[in-house]
Amino acid sequence: MNAMKTFCAILLCTATLTGLAGEILFDRVPDNGIQPQVITDNSGAVHLLYYSGAAKGGDLYYVGPKDSGRRTEDGGHGPGKALRVNTVENSAIAAGTIRGGQIALGRNGRVHVAWNGARPQPDARHEGAPMYYARLNDAGTAFETQRDLIHTTGQLDGGGSVAADANRNVYVLWHGHRPGDPKGEIGRAVFLAISRDDGATFAPEIRANPEPTGACGCCGLDAQADRAGNLYVLYRTAETMVNRDAVLLMSGDKGQTFQKLLADPWNTGACPMSSAAFAPIASGVAIAWETKGQVRFTSVSSGAASEPIQPSGQGKRRHPAVAANKNGEILLVWAEGTGWERGGAVGWQLFDKNRKPAGEPGRRDGVPVWSFAAAYAKANGDFVILY
């Protein structure tokens, strides 16, 4: 892999939209990769996860900063080489768009990755595909051997997620069935495996959602830990098969109990194969999701969620990403025209610190099949959209 020949979002950009407080820049995923996930650390360095290979069995690659002490002229970090995350070749999956890898940064910037396994394992202790986890080794040179964290649940379908904090806590979440639970989506629940030692060991999974809402089988979920150590999870329900609400949960006791902060109703009998996204903000998190063919976002601070905001315009929008810069601006990004085995375009809208639209929505063709866009804020307040 020669990822750094093409990954230049920090250094070079293919386009710039001026006239906004934070400029919007664009770049491509390296090596024709798809499904980018991007986060920045406290120093402003960029950490990228992406998928490469066949849709039903491929690999995850991680690109991090080459040297955390060496900065580029614009205040970013020079990127390092691509490392394969999965130690078993072709054990990740991209088909369906919502089952790919998720990335988190924990204590001392350690990288944690979780993803749906591409296929069931013959010696598995549970039914269905594995929920894999791997972390970057102490030297930062390779990923440790991937592990399946599922003990008792089965029928993994929609994508899982990972979150981590600065106090050695790592959380891997997914939805599935416990033995004896009702069949179908109404019997699904959100489950959580917790590590208290930076991902070295995990306890068996416990149920996370406090109410029996079911879970949309082929929908993804996402998770994030904020700077205060609170854990957030957004998933889609399947109560009575048609109430597919987006539900936001929060845990203030490191994953032991959860409370519901928000429920965004959506009455539909079809699985929307939706995804969600988080981004840290100064006093909590920003969260984006899809409802009724549109994307929207909210921010959570001091345990309370603000009123959801939707970008202007029409058309079906899905697979949102969200980023916040040092000025308090929010960039909401989404995919348009994508579907099963079909690529499309990336759309976006910038919101000022008062959550008012800063300009009109934008659109740019070129999102590959099974992919979507990611976004992050640079140290100088500019945004980068990676697709």
The enclosing H or E element of 201 equals: none
Q: Specify the DSSP class assigned to residue 342.
A: B
Whole-number pLDDT of residue 67: 42
Tokens of 32: 């024709």
Rounded to a whole number of angstroms, the CA Rg of the chain reads 19
Q: Which residues contact 218 (CB under 8 A, 6 or more apart)?
A: 96, 98, 157, 158, 271, 273
* Per-residue pLDDT at 277: 98
Q: What pLDDT does 314 receive?
A: 85
Nearest Cα to 368, choosing from 34, 28, 14?
A: 34
What is Dmax (Cα atoms) for the chain?
Answer: 59
pLDDT of amino acid 79: 55
Q: Contact, 345 vs 339, CB < 8 A?
A: no
Enumerate domains of the chain plus CATH numbers.
Answer: 116-133+146-326 (2.120.10.10)
Q: What is the pLDDT of residue 66?
A: 63
User: Mind listing the pLDDT tens digit of every residue in the chain (387 residues)?
Assistant: 445 444 444 333 333 444 446 799 999 999 999 999 999 998 999 999 999 999 999 999 999 986 433 333 344 444 568 999 999 999 999 999 999 999 999 999 999 999 999 999 988 889 999 999 999 999 999 999 999 999 999 999 999 999 999 999 999 999 999 999 999 999 999 999 999 999 999 999 999 999 999 999 999 999 999 999 999 999 999 988 789 999 999 999 999 999 999 999 999 988 899 999 999 998 899 999 999 999 999 999 988 999 999 999 988 999 999 999 999 999 999 999 999 999 999 999 999 999 999 999 999 999 999 999 999 999 999 999 999
Angle at 54 between CA 52 and CA 56, to 5 degrees: 115
Work out whether the CA dihedral 19, 364, 285, 8 comes out positive or negative.
negative
What local confidence, expressed as pLDDT, does residue 241 receive? 76
HEC string for 300-366: EECCEECCCECCCCCCCCEEEEEEECCCCCEEEEEEECCECCECEEEEEEEECCCCCECCCCEEEEE
Q: Which residue has the tokens 């495996």?
A: 193
| Residue 250: its H or E element | strand 246-251
Are the CB atoms for 153 and 177 separated by under 8 Å? yes
